[in-house]
Amino acid sequence: MHTHTHQLSVGRGGHLNRVFQFGIWLNVGYVILEAIFGFFTDSMGLLSDAGHNLSDIFSLLIALIAFKVARRKPTSEFTYGFRRATVNASVLNAIILYVAVAMILVESIRKLFHPVAVDGTLVAWIAAAGVVVNGITAWLFLKDSKDDLNARGAFLHMAADTLVSVGVVISGIIMVSTGWTLIDPIVGIIIAIVIAIGTYGTLRESLRLAFDGVPRGICPENVAQAILSVSEVKSIHHLHIWALSTTEVAMTVHVVVDKTTNIDLVIHDIRHVAIKKGIDHSTIEVETTPCHCESCDVNQ
């Protein structure tokens, strides 16, 4: 006998859609402004930051599309629906950021060996606008960043962008004060390093979910012990936990009970335990005879 629960959080998905849309348009306006002034001032700091912000726009757009696709209803061919799109989007976004990092590094190193004059005052003012734009966008994603990988990625990117813009402001001030133009490509290199370091955690978690790894924050051993603590459960095996999307977690488990056990009550209690552990979708198979095959190791 088996049963399952299935909860789909679409309300918060609608909220995130609106947040992503606002963030996209806000950053589109800033990237256009930054790219224009970066080109005319020949500032590597501004151009590299504009390139990074452009990649962020694509990342936000990909995430937005993924959320829309994820809300489509399941079909006979895709019985889980399309919520996996949010996981694939997070992987793609991390890859896009590393491509942007490579481009920034190449151009910054070139400028380092072939420096050009830069209008430090204009650079500082444009970057200051970036502090405001990126700060507002990061704040929009702050609330949802605790529960969704794409939202967390967007928040980390925008928070890092805010710090990067602060760095560009500082470089502009230094150029005005000292005339040291090499600070501009140096800031570009620092930006690339900051992005690479900040993106690593998101890339690692995205790949973990893409390969059906246990989502961060859920310990299989703790889940197993919680299920074993349910009254009448004698043993468990074939416990598997993976991500349906960046916000939903699934679990399958076989539990062994006595023949006289109230199976419905046991299922209800295990379902409650799973939800408390952050697992939305539980498939529970109840058995009255212990499994003795090699694949059914104790509690696995």
Give the count of beta carbons closer than 10 Å to the beta carbon of residue 134: 27
Rounded to whole angstroms, what are the CA distances from 95 to 23, 56, 187? 20, 12, 22
pLDDT of residue 10: 42
β pairing state of 249-256 and 281-287:
parallel
pTM tops 0.75, yes or no: no
Least confident of 55-59, 75-79, 288-292: 288-292
Residue 105's H or E segment, with its range, is: helix 85-113
Residues 14-42 pLDDT 10s: 677 788 888 888 889 888 887 888 777 77
Q: Where residue 297 falls among pLDDT bands split at 50, 70, 90?
A: low
Residue 130's H or E segment, with its range, is: helix 120-142
Encoded tokens for 208: 């973990």
pLDDT of residue 225: 94
Residues 183-235 pLDDT 10s: 878 887 887 888 788 778 888 888 999 999 999 889 999 999 999 999 889 99
Distance of CA 261 to the CA centre of its chain: 43
Rounded to whole angstroms, what are the CA distances from 60 to 2, 103, 215? 39, 20, 22
Helix (H, G, I), strand (E, B) or coil at 199: helix
pLDDT of residue 300: 47
Length reported for the chain:
300
Higher pLDDT, 150 or 176: 176
Residue 109's H or E segment, with its range, is: helix 85-113
Encoded tokens for 289: 């005879």
Give the count of beta carbons closer than 10 Å to the beta carbon of residue 255: 25
Q: Where residue 298 falls among pLDDT bands split at 50, 70, 90?
A: very low
Encoded tokens for 226: 């919680």
Torsion of CA 183, 184, 190, 194, to 10 degrees: 140
Name all domains of the chain by residue range, CATH numbers in brackets.
7-210 (1.20.1510.10), 220-287 (3.30.70.1350)
